[in-house]
Homo-oligomer: A and B are copies of this chain.
């Protein structure tokens, strides 16, 4: 870190600091909050089918979670169930909606109306809950004229005005990564205190501002990791034997790595032929280590 101020808090989706801070008040765990929308969706579906009550077991199955977890989650909201019967669907829908703040209207601005911004603007499920697109914003004059989902794309100049007059507290960023921090700063400066970031960048925001990120690339990489595992491999490494060994050997290896500038090319070349024989987590250190 560099800064010495209280705490710039570059909070992101998995920020446990925010958890303590935000759920301190009435003590709803962050993990529970993240599941409430899931329950709500399942409940809404039941509601539409006019199902009057539902047991924790059924609802848990519909939401894809453990029933004990679901009951504990609900217990944080209060005791809304009836033993021997289950939960009243309509009542629970309302309670969760209220807890999530969906009984009020949340105006949202989307900044960066390119491919993704367009898709989001057109997204119906957006408004289905209390979210209303207050404005679409872009910096490109060619885009500013157009409309998306019936809404006009407005110029960035109007950002501050829109945020203030429409009381926008949630901003969605779908600009290229290079512009994201700058856009974020302007949003925050104007009064936005929650940001949903689709750009692959770590945003730094002041305390009190929440940032959540949606990152396709990260998700795919996580899947790739597990996929590789399933393929029954060991990554055919080029390390460990040396790196795991304590003593001066490791130091030597590290030194060589640093010295041999092009670690990338060298290692890459090595990785392919590594149809490895058998042993260790990996084998051939030889390629890196011109022993």
Contacts and interface: CB of A to CB of B under 8 A. Distances in A.
Given A1-B58, A22-B291, A217-B126, A82 B131 contact: no
A37 B225 CA distance: 10
A73 interface: no
A140 B269 CA distance: 44
A182 interface: no
B224 A214 contact: no
Instruction: Assign chain A's interface to a size class.
Output: 35 or more
Given A79-B243, A281-B78, A22 B226 contact: yes
How many copies of the polypeptide does the oligomer hold? 2
A193 B104 CA distance: 40
A185 interface: no
Given A25-B291, A88-B254, A67 B1 contact: yes
Nearest to A235: B98
A200 interface: yes
A15 to B, nearest CB: 9
17 contacts: A14-B34, A21-B291, A33-B222, A34-B222, A79-B244, A81-B254, A88-B258, A90-B262, A91-B267, A94-B264, A98-B237, A102-B221, A102-B224, A130-B224, A170-B223, A194-B227, A196-B220
